[in-house]
A and B are shown apart, each in its own frame.
Chain A
Amino acid sequence: MFRILITILFLLTVGCKKESLTILSGSENESLKPLLEEFGRTHGASIELKTMGSVDIMRRLQNDSLSEYDAIWPAASMWLALGDAHKRVSQSKSIMTSPVVFGIKKSLAQKLGFVGRDVTVAEILAAVQRGDLRFTMTSATQSNSGAMAYLGFLSAFAENPQTLSQEQLQDTVLLNRMTALLSGINRSSGSSGWLKELFLKGDYDAMVNYESLIIETNHVRIGRGEEPLYIVYPRDGLSISDSPLGSLTQDEKKRELFNELQEWLLSTPIQKRIAAQGRRTGLGASASTEFMSSVDTAWGISANRILAPVPLPAAAQILEALNLYQTRLRKPSLTVFCLDFSGSMEGTGSAQLKEAMNLLLDAQRSKEHLIQPGYRDITVIIPFSNELQPYKIVEGNSDSAMAELNRFVESLEPSGGTDIYSPAIQALSIIESYSETEYIPAVVLMTDGESNTGANQDALRLALGKVNRDIPIFSISFGDASQDQLDEIATMSRAAVFKGQDDLVGAFRKVKGYN
């Protein structure tokens, strides 16, 4: 009898399905995951965070149903306003704020005379032009921190007008100064979270990122006994991201859960804990006691500083500015694609690969994703199997050059075995023949198999050491690619592996945002 009752009770409990919420979010919220898990535990729900770059979030909002997501949490409300043409986002509220700043190794900041005073973007430019400062920054067309920093710099170079006009975006003096500033970038990335990780792995001098991520970086560096980064808030080119969390769901239960989550995140105790993680919460981007206790004033953070960001230009000018960044102003990329045309790629594999390359090389399609090549870019394609095949180099972005590359890819036929190391080594030697300071280089190695012939890992490591430049070898895995081999290559070159099994085109698109 009791047993039956217990069974009934058990079934009742199972019947009460756990409610879940899937949030489409910027990568900078990654470090709040434990907090979201805690909410899930205490509220009997499961909260899942799926991260994506801001430009992608905007695009998805414009074009897709987004039915797999219940809520949206981009880095700044600018992307909601630009993307939410169908008014699907409701109840969006800022959870926290963080300014986009320069973090510069303290000793270098001191040498540059940037400590303890206001610094203008022009002074930063001067340091770059003297060759005293190089920095890492995310791509303005892929990531919010890069976009906001870039728009802030533009405003500063235009002498802080009320708003940036179309004429100013055509002013050669302004554009040249912007180009000169961006030439100081030594590594880029499609995501601010990844940039922070990269910074911690390598030996870089400075980084443009959220104040919150610089604070996180400093905690790790101090723990390792390294000097902290000093935070410079460019006086005339500052931006603040406001991290709005909005609802996408029409489902009543999910909506309730969303409301609970939003209220919980905005409740005083949780806001204090978020502040203790280096985010600004509460009124007016102020530095609360909890926030200040998570930082060291020696890092350049002051409780009294009023953050005065530059106003954002109108939507049309923002989009125009992003286009300009991609095609004209950013430091040119030198990208070597090593494409696997071994026998196993026969059929859908090679068809998808050709489709992906078409997206990158086609002027119209690449523009939609703001990954179009610029006029100074260099694109190299090395097809490989168990042996190297003739490669092709194209400089610039002219229609005819891009069409030629496209035809080249189209003509490739799969056959033979797999050697991923030889093409990577060749890619390094091609990059070595170009100036180290003029380009942001990257190798993109796409493969669907395990390397079992030809060169090996040690040979690649040796070649990388010989070149002695900071060249990331990104990989895109497909089919039965060896994750171990690719992870090892990513580790030795401070790069990343993108999984192309489910969406090869998407993986290519993503990787293109990293240089």
Chain B
Amino acid sequence: MKRTLLGLLVLLICIVAGIMFKMKQSILPAETVSGMIGGEKSQFLEDSLIVKILRNRYGLIVDARKEGSIELVQGDPKGKDFLWPSSQVALEIFKERHAGVSFKTDQIFSSPLVLFSWDLVTKALVAQKYAQERNGVWYITDLTGLIQAVVDGKKWSDLGVSELYGRVSLISTDPNRSNSGSLFAGLIAALLAGDQLNDSTLAEVTPAVKQYFDGLGFMESSSSDLFNQYLSTGVGAKPIIAGYENQIIEYSLAHPDQWPVVKEKVRLLYPEPTVWSAHPFIALTPKAEKLMKALKDPEIQKIAWERHGFRTDLVATTAASEVNGRVIGIAPSISKVIPLPAPHILNNLLGSLKNN
């Protein structure tokens, strides 16, 4: 008897909850906006805070599928509301490929290319003058020198890291499949060319860039996979990797349990100069234009930085404070930046890195 009453009660609660849920849903009519994104933004778009603001304030539901930035702008845009790659180069390729398609674009946020390493290795990099610590932030001041050490096949013991076996390595994702890899290839080429990368200097520096990437052997095709492996397999397997600044900030929030341990061991290193990974939004329909405007909502922009590490115009004003308290060594501003090589130059470079 008692059990029956309890059952009835549960049933009643279920019905009421169901009705309330339905009512809540119908507050604002929503339209679904669908498109393709670079994978590094999926956690941002799945963030319940972002979903709520877009739904309640703008009546938008986002249906985003992941693809590599370069691939997604080359596909047929028909039937899609928007494309959201992770680099300016991808936008240029889109313009070239789909000359007749009308669209609007806006820069939503960006993240600098950085290196991730470990306390043990960073100490040696500073001692060897490849890196420098200034005001609690680590900078790679001689990236060309470090790349040269890798290409020359120097051993960790040559750099004074006796704990590590084998050769110095700085691991990147596959430049032909991943945006971070292609940005890194562009950065190295530009540095080797003394920041004067044009058709003729490209030919001069390509062999060295190629030698570096050939030496990497097996390359991951996604920056998030490489970052995860960096953390799971450690300093012996992944002593230094290339990635985006926002990855470590996003990780720090997503893994509060692990973070206190990780925080002490990992090091964020800013190459000087570095390049930006921009996130240009390509709106193909009026619905998508609404989404593009909504993404500039100050609250969304704040969440983008604080919870996902994407730098926005607001970073300077809200300061890095909250994020800084959590993550060690976040640079207050990124001042030394070089522009990405022109799209056709980068394309040629990536083409010559392809062979295997």
Write the residues of chain A forming the contact surface with B, with a CB cutoff of 8 angstroms.
Answer: 2, 5-6, 8-9, 12, 77-78, 81, 87, 90, 92-94, 97, 160-164, 235-236, 240, 242, 267-268, 282-286, 306-318
Q: Which 5 A-B pairs have the closest CB atoms?
A: A284-B234, A163-B217, A308-B236, A162-B215, A312-B218
Interface string of B230-261 (1 = CB under 8 A from A): 01111111000000000000000000011001
Contact in complex: B265, A162 (CB < 8 Å)? no
Minimum distance in angstroms from B265 CB to a CB of chain A: 6
Residue B296 lies at the interface, judged by CB distance under 8 Å to chain A = no
Contact in complex: B218, A308 (CB < 8 Å)? no
- From B1, B7, B215, B261, give the contact of A282 (CB < 8 A): B261
Contact in complex: A94, B229 (CB < 8 Å)? yes
Contact in complex: B228, A93 (CB < 8 Å)? yes
Q: Which residues of B contact A160 (CB under 8 A)?
A: 166-167
Minimum distance in angstroms from A450 CB to a CB of chain B: 50
Contact in complex: B258, A314 (CB < 8 Å)? no
Q: How far is the CA of A371 from the CA of B75 in the complex (A)?
A: 38
In the complex, residue of chain A having the shortest beta-carbon distance to the beta carbon of B255: A266
Residue B205 lies at the interface, judged by CB distance under 8 Å to chain A = no
- From A162, A235, A240, give the contact of B233 (CB < 8 A): A240
Known contacts A5-B4, A81-B221; A162/B216 CB under 8 A: yes
Contact in complex: B218, A284 (CB < 8 Å)? no
In the complex, residue of chain A having the shortest beta-carbon distance to the beta carbon of B218: A312
Contact in complex: A163, B237 (CB < 8 Å)? no
Q: How far is the CA of A313 from the CA of B167 in the complex (A)?
A: 14
Contact in complex: A308, B166 (CB < 8 Å)? yes
A-B contact pairs, 17 of them (CB 8 A): A5-B4, A12-B11, A77-B220, A94-B233, A97-B233, A160-B167, A162-B153, A162-B217, A267-B257, A268-B258, A283-B258, A283-B265, A284-B231, A284-B233, A284-B265, A286-B234, A310-B166
Q: Which residues of A contact B234 (CB under 8 A)?
A: 283-286, 306-307
Q: Which residues of A contact B217 (CB under 8 A)?
A: 162-164, 311-314, 317
Q: Which residues of A contact B231 (CB under 8 A)?
A: 283-284
Q: How far is the CA of A81 from the CA of B165 in the complex (A)?
A: 25
Q: How far is the CA of A94 from the CA of B215 in the complex (A)?
A: 25
Q: How far is the CA of A242 from the CA of B249 in the complex (A)?
A: 23
Contact in complex: A5, B261 (CB < 8 Å)? no
Q: A5-B8, A311-B218 are in contact. List 4 more A-B contacts (CB 8 A).
A: A9-B10, A77-B220, A162-B150, A283-B262
Known contacts A2-B4, A163-B215; A315/B229 CB under 8 A: no
Residue B277 lies at the interface, judged by CB distance under 8 Å to chain A = no
In the complex, residue of chain B having the shortest beta-carbon distance to the beta carbon of A286: B234
Q: How far is the CA of A513 from the CA of B117 in the complex (A)?
A: 40
Interface size class of B (residues with CB under 8 A): 35 or more
Minimum distance in angstroms from A28 CB to a CB of chain B: 16
Q: How far is the CA of A167 from the CA of B66 in the complex (A)?
A: 38
Best-surrounded residue of A8, A77, A90, A268 (most CB of chain B within 10 A): A77
- From B67, B163, B228, give the contact of A94 (CB < 8 A): B228
Contact in complex: B235, A306 (CB < 8 Å)? yes
Known contacts A77-B225, A308-B166; A315/B4 CB under 8 A: no
Contact in complex: A163, B214 (CB < 8 Å)? yes
Best-surrounded residue of B169, B214, B217 (most CB of chain A within 10 A): B217
Contact in complex: A5, B216 (CB < 8 Å)? no
Minimum distance in angstroms from B228 CB to a CB of chain A: 6
Q: How far is the CA of A92 from the CA of B226 in the complex (A)?
A: 11
- From B164, B258, B261, give the contact of A308 (CB < 8 A): B164
Q: How far is the CA of A385 from the CA of B217 in the complex (A)?
A: 53
Contact in complex: A285, B218 (CB < 8 Å)? no
In the complex, residue of chain A having the shortest beta-carbon distance to the beta carbon of B171: A311
Q: How far is the CA of A88 from the CA of B225 in the complex (A)?
A: 14
Residue B219 lies at the interface, judged by CB distance under 8 Å to chain A = yes
Q: Which residues of A contact B236 (CB under 8 A)?
A: 284-285, 306-309
Q: Which residues of A contact B219 (CB under 8 A)?
A: 314
In the complex, residue of chain A having the shortest beta-carbon distance to the beta carbon of B261: A283
In the complex, residue of chain A having the shortest beta-carbon distance to the beta carbon of B238: A284
Contact in complex: B153, A314 (CB < 8 Å)? no
Interface string of B313-349 (1 = CB under 8 A from A): 0000000000000000000000000000000000000
Chain B stretch 85-99: residues in CB contact (< 8 A) with chain A: none
Chain B stretch 1-24: residues in CB contact (< 8 A) with chain A: 1, 4, 7-8, 10-11
Contact in complex: B218, A78 (CB < 8 Å)? yes
Contact in complex: A97, B232 (CB < 8 Å)? yes
Q: Which residues of A contact B200 (CB under 8 A)?
A: none
Residue B356 lies at the interface, judged by CB distance under 8 Å to chain A = yes
Contact in complex: A284, B232 (CB < 8 Å)? yes
Q: Which residues of A contact B167 (CB under 8 A)?
A: 160-162
- From A8, A77, A308, A313, give the contact of B165 (CB < 8 A): A308
Best-surrounded residue of B228, B235, B236 (most CB of chain A within 10 A): B236
Q: How far is the CA of A307 from the CA of B170 in the complex (A)?
A: 17
Q: Which residues of A contact B150 (CB under 8 A)?
A: 162
Q: Which residues of A contact B165 (CB under 8 A)?
A: 235-236, 308
Q: How far is the CA of A235 from the CA of B165 in the complex (A)?
A: 8
Contact in complex: B11, A306 (CB < 8 Å)? no
Contact in complex: A311, B258 (CB < 8 Å)? no
Q: How far is the CA of A404 from the CA of B234 in the complex (A)?
A: 53
Q: Which residues of A contact B4 (CB under 8 A)?
A: 2, 5-6
Q: How far is the CA of A318 from the CA of B217 in the complex (A)?
A: 10
Contact in complex: A316, B356 (CB < 8 Å)? yes
In the complex, residue of chain A having the shortest beta-carbon distance to the beta carbon of B262: A283
Contact in complex: B258, A313 (CB < 8 Å)? no
Q: How far is the CA of A103 from the CA of B217 in the complex (A)?
A: 29
Q: How far is the CA of A92 from the CA of B229 in the complex (A)?
A: 10
Q: How far is the CA of A164 from the CA of B4 in the complex (A)?
A: 70
Chain B stretch 177-236: residues in CB contact (< 8 A) with chain A: 214-221, 225, 228-229, 231-236
Best-surrounded residue of B214, B215, B233 (most CB of chain A within 10 A): B233
Contact in complex: A315, B237 (CB < 8 Å)? no
Q: Which residues of B contact A81 (CB under 8 A)?
A: 218, 220-221, 225
Minimum distance in angstroms from B75 CB to a CB of chain A: 13
Minimum distance in angstroms from A215 CB to a CB of chain B: 19
Contact in complex: B214, A92 (CB < 8 Å)? no
Q: Which residues of A contact B235 (CB under 8 A)?
A: 284, 306
Minimum distance in angstroms from A491 CB to a CB of chain B: 39
Minimum distance in angstroms from A91 CB to a CB of chain B: 9
In the complex, residue of chain A having the shortest beta-carbon distance to the beta carbon of B68: A87
Q: How far is the CA of A316 from the CA of B218 in the complex (A)?
A: 9
Contact in complex: A9, B232 (CB < 8 Å)? no
Q: Which residues of B contact A78 (CB under 8 A)?
A: 218
Q: How far is the CA of A5 from the CA of B220 in the complex (A)?
A: 57
Q: Which residues of A contact B218 (CB under 8 A)?
A: 78, 81, 163, 311-315, 318
Contact in complex: B166, A9 (CB < 8 Å)? no
Known contacts A162-B217, A267-B257; A306/B225 CB under 8 A: no
Q: How far is the CA of A282 from the CA of B1 in the complex (A)?
A: 50
In the complex, residue of chain B having the shortest beta-carbon distance to the beta carbon of A305: B236
Contact in complex: B216, A163 (CB < 8 Å)? yes
